[in-house]
Structure formats: C-alpha cells, structure tokens
Structure 1
Amino acid sequence: MMRVFVAGATGTLGVPVVRALVAAGHHVTGLTRSAEKRGMLERLGAVPAIADALDAAALDRVVREAAPTHVLHLLTALPRNGPVRLAHVRPTLRLKTEGTANLLKAAIAAGAKRMVGESIIYAYGFAADRLVTEADPPGGPEAVPWLNEVVAGTRSLEDQMLAADRAGLIEAIPLRFGFFYGAESPSTEFSMRMLRMRGLPVVRGADDGRAGFIHLDDATSATIAALERGRAGEIYNVVDSDPVSMNEFFRRAARESGAPAPWRLPLWIARLTMPYAATMMTTRLAVSNEKAIRDLGWQPVYPSSVDGLKQVVRALAGP
C-alpha cells in the first residue's frame, strides 16, 4: 500500500486520481487550500489537508503530518471554463515555479520516496512541426515573446524535479500531458454546452494546427502507473494516439453530441480577443505516447478523441 499525498486533489485530474487510488486500497491525503472542500475529499475517501501550496511553512506541516511514501504534484489554478489569455495561466505558472519548490522541499523533508508531477506538452515549446518524442530537446525562444513565460514556468517544474532526482533526494517523474477532456472536466462540460448553443466557434485558418489530447480516465491511469512503476528521472508524454487540430476536436464534439456545426471565427479576431487560446489552436505540436505505453505498461482506453467523446456524451446524458 502506498501513502500518497495529492497536491491539487480537488482539481480536474486530482479528483479522479484520488478516487482511483482510494479504490485500489492506498492511503490518500488530499491537499486543498479551501476548507470548504474538506467534505468533498472525505466523500472521496481521502484525508483532507488544508494549506496553500504557496505557504511553504503550512505546506511543510501538512506533508509531514501525512508522512507520504509518494507525492503527486497536480497543482493548477486555471479558470473552470479554460484559459483564453495569459493572465488566466499565470496563477498556474506560479504553482509550477514556487509551488513546485515548496512541495519538493516538503516531500523530501517528510521522507517521501517518489514524486510525480503534472507538466504539459508545451514544455517542448510552440514551434514544433513534427511528431515529438521525449528525446527531442526543448525548442528555442518563441516567436511570440509572451509564450516564453508559459514555457519557462512549465520547464521550471520539470527542471526542479529532475535536479532533485539527480541529487538522490527523491525519485521524480514529470508527466507531459495533452489537453484534458472528460465528463468530469468543467471545461469539457462548458464546451459541450456552448457548442449546443452555437456559442463556441472554430478558428478560420487553424485547421493545420495539431495538439495532443487525453481523456481524464486515461490521464488517471497513466498517473497511477507512473507512481507505481515509472522509471525515476524520466519524462513521459501522456497523450492519446490521434493528434488533431483543436478545430477538429470541437467539430468531433459537436458531431458526437448532436450539436450544430461550429461557426468559424476569423483568426485575426481570435488573436485579439483570446490570444492564448488562438495560439493553442494554431500551434502544430503532435507528441508521441510510445514511451509511456512501453515503459509504464499503460494503454489508453480511448486512443482517439472520437472514442473518448462518445463516452463523454453518454456520461453527460446520464442514465
């Protein structure tokens, strides 16, 4: 049995991960900064720990009390409906820099054996135009200067974790996730609702974009596989096997849910009104999941968002 401290336990990935760990018989302590979410964690079967990850002393105290063997860094602070501009991402970037430093220090002090952290595929940068593997080096400075802030924050999480691993302080495994979707994802539910209302466009000129997607069920199983059998000091891409443009993802979501075809927003308007989202939609970054499948003994149940969105529609429809 593992004793797992989950930072970000009430987040989009945190909730299904906590549920799965408890179901597998592990002892789980879930971190939240909101005392109002104590009951939610207790209903999931976790022991609540109330602290702000940016308060190093408070975090150290609750991690020591939990005495974990394993730590999960799933800290995010994104809007429920998803980010559309850089200001929406900055709180999460702070958690990836300062929050990572605090959590690493606390985990090491508490004697934890292993830490798995939530990174994103954009650690590679925003300029790749090929299928990228973990062996590929990060890209250079971004053509759009403010994107360097996103990449730097993301890489900070990975660099801090891997430095601690190399120093022999803790086993560390960063996971580079694609875009989450699932029936429990607030942003997915919002997108489905907006598609039905014809309130969510695709972007004209973004059909050549490519992105990695991952169903929450598969993100959960990959996270637990990394805790149990990932190779320390390694990075793994966690995406499905079907990279597509975000335009195509939303068209698939509309088709599967019976919504009208999304209307098309000119790219120049998208860049003015939702610059971060527009960049995500036009970037070509397809990443390989072969290493995670090979090393973690993991296999996505939904290898394509076509399959995953069918499940989402069924789940949102209810019994």
Structure 2
Amino acid sequence: MRVFVAGATGAVGRLLVPLLLADGHEVTGTSRAEAGARGLARQGAIGVRVDAHDRAALAAAVRDAAPEVVLHQLTALAEANLSDNARIRREGTRNLVDAAKAAGVRRLVVQSISWAYEPGDVPASEDVPLDLSADAPRDETVGGVHALETRAAEVSEHVVLRYGTFYGPGTWYRPGGRVGGQFEGSGFTATDAVTSFVHVEDAALAAVAALHWPTGTYNIVDDEPAPARAWAPVFAQVLGVPQPAVAEGRAGWQRGADNTLSRMKLGWQPKYPTWREGFATLS
C-alpha cells in the first residue's frame, strides 16, 4: 500500500515509519527539515522536505506520492507553543485534507487527543462532546482539535485517533523530557487531575492498525486513567528524583478517557496495558 505520512519525524512518526516499511508498505514521509527528510530516505522511505503551511508544496508532495492512505501526524510541540500546535491542526489539516482530496485519496488517519472532552466525573467515552465552551487558554486547544476532526471528516474514509498523553522516547514524559525536567527540578505538583496515558510505541502501532479500521473516532489510551497522586510518585521513582509536592483538586475536564470502544469494536490491545508497565521501561 502507498502511504503518505505527514509529520514523519515526530514522536509517533519516527516509530511509525519503520513499522510501515516492515509491513511492506511504500512510504513517503514529510519533515520540515532537510536532515529529517534525509533520515527518512536512509530508512527506506521517500523523504520530502515540506512545511504543512506551504499549501502548494504540500499539495505537490501528496500528488507526486499518489498515496492510497494519508496518515496525519503533524504537530508543533518542539517549543511547547500550544498556539502553534492549534494552528497546525487548523491550517495544516486544511492544507493536507485539500491535498489528499485533490489527489483522490479516500482514506485518512489523523492524530487527535483525548483530553478535549467536556468536564465530567468519570473517564470520557467517544460520545461525550468536545469542550467547545471552554475558557481561554483551553479554548484554543479544543478549537484546534474540533477543526482537525471536522476537516478530517471530509475524506470519505477517516479514522480519528484520540490519543492519550504520550510517554516514552521523544515525548515530554521521559527522563530529560519537558515534564521529566519538571520532576527533576522539583517543579511538579501531584493533584487529583486524571490523565489517560499511552506509550508512544502503542500510538504508532495503533496508527498502523488504523489503516484497516472502520471510519470512526476512537480513544487510544491505556487501561488505567489515573490521578497524578497515583502516577506521579511512580514516575518520580523511575526518574530517581524526590517525590513531588501534593495538592488537592482538579479541573472538570481533567477526567481521563475510556478505551472500551477501541477494545470491543476494534480488538485493540495496548502493548503496555497501563502506565505502570510502561513507566518501568523508561529507566
């Protein structure tokens, strides 16, 4: 199968491309940097340097690749700028969807998130609406997610993967990562906020499986949504740093997500069933 991976050198993309190649797919991957494109070529993919905000260049890259499936893994999180990330969800997705449609692509798989749901007291299933009435600054993130998913639905066969919080290589949740650094600097406070995690390897494996999944929106999270009071001490122990400070309370939207639909309908099972097993691999 000819597969076009937009954002092929990000945290998910760098694991996804080798999996696709190993399965025998013909892969074209994009990177904003020339070094990234060369790295993709060394793996056996076709590497293309292109910025998703360059509408004409992206359209040409998709047209030349003539893919059967487009995998949208575009993010802008290197500088932790959530406005840039929301922009790429809005504008980058618009450009990618238009390019896919112009090239006759009928299947699109997109990377979304599972913490954009309305507030609630239990982990959110996919039928819970997005939190479109959220106050600033959360409204920017939720608005970007809504734009991403709405535009993805323009492609006749579309799979929206609402991922949990990534941990593992190349993510914020690892030794030396952005959140890992907060722990190492005693700058993290464990509250009642619930997080649903997913190991970045499981995220990549789900994207490969989604090449054949039915159209729909699916939470791709592990089996144990957990408050920071539960997971943060384990993470600190893995990092070998002092236990974090503790405080009560959470925002209503910090509820986690439920993976029942993915498990029951798709038969999806994460390699790391919970963050407990996954965190143990980080040390």
Common fold by TM > 0.5: yes
Identity %: 35
Quick check: 1:56 aligned with 2:55?
yes
Match of 2:131 in 1: 139
SS at structure 1 position matched to 2:276: helix
Match of 1:227 in 2: 211
Structure 1, 144-153 or 101-110: larger mean CA deviation: 144-153
Match of 2:117 in 1: 124
Write the mapping of 1:257-268 to structure 2, written as runs, cut at 5 A: 257=239, 259-264=240-245
Contiguous gaps of at least 5 residues in structure 2: none
CA-based RMSD of the aligned residues comes to: 2.3
Write the mapping of 1:215-254 to structure 2, written as runs, cut at 5 A: 215-228=199-212, 230-232=213-215, 234-254=216-236
Letter in 1 for 2:109: V
Q: Cα deviation per residue 1:106-133 (whole Å; 9 max; x = unaligned)?
A: 11111212100011013314x2221211
Structure 1, 152-161 or 38-47: larger mean CA deviation: 38-47
Q: For the Cα contact (< 8 Å) 1:195–1:254, is it kept in 2?
A: no
1:241 CA displacement:
0.5
For 1:246 and 1:44, the matched residues in 2 are separated by: 38
Match of 1:295 in 2: 265
TM-score between the two structures when normalised by the length of structure 1: 0.81
Change (3 A) 1:300 1:39: same
For 1:179 and 1:120, the matched residues in 2 are separated by: 8
Between Structure 1 and Structure 2, how many residues are aligned? 282
For 2:128 and 2:89, the matched residues in 1 are separated by: 22
Q: For the Cα contact (< 8 Å) 2:116–2:253, is it kept in 1?
A: no
For 2:254 and 2:93, the matched residues in 1 are separated by: 28
For 1:89 and 1:193, the matched residues in 2 are separated by: 19
Quick check: 1:209 aligned with 2:190?
no
Quick check: 1:256 aligned with 2:247?
no
Change (3 A) 1:195 1:17: same
Write the mapping of 1:28-67 to structure 2, written as runs, cut at 5 A: 28-67=27-66
Q: Cα deviation per residue 1:47-71 (whole Å; 9 max; x = unaligned)?
A: 0111111111000001001010000
Q: For the Cα contact (< 8 Å) 2:58–2:99, is it kept in 1?
A: yes
For 1:133 and 1:34, the matched residues in 2 are separated by: 37
Match of 1:316 in 2: none
Letter in 1 for 2:92: G
Match of 1:114 in 2: 107
1:140 CA displacement:
4.9
1:33 CA displacement:
1.7
Q: For the Cα contact (< 8 Å) 1:128–1:139, is it kept in 2?
A: no
Match of 1:96 in 2: 89
Structure 1 residue ranges (4+ consecutive) displaced by more than 6 angstroms after TM superposition: none
TM-score between the two structures when normalised by the length of structure 2: 0.91
Match of 2:10 in 1: 11
Q: For the Cα contact (< 8 Å) 1:195–1:262, is it kept in 2?
A: no
1:279 CA displacement:
8.1
Q: For the Cα contact (< 8 Å) 2:27–2:46, is it kept in 1?
A: yes
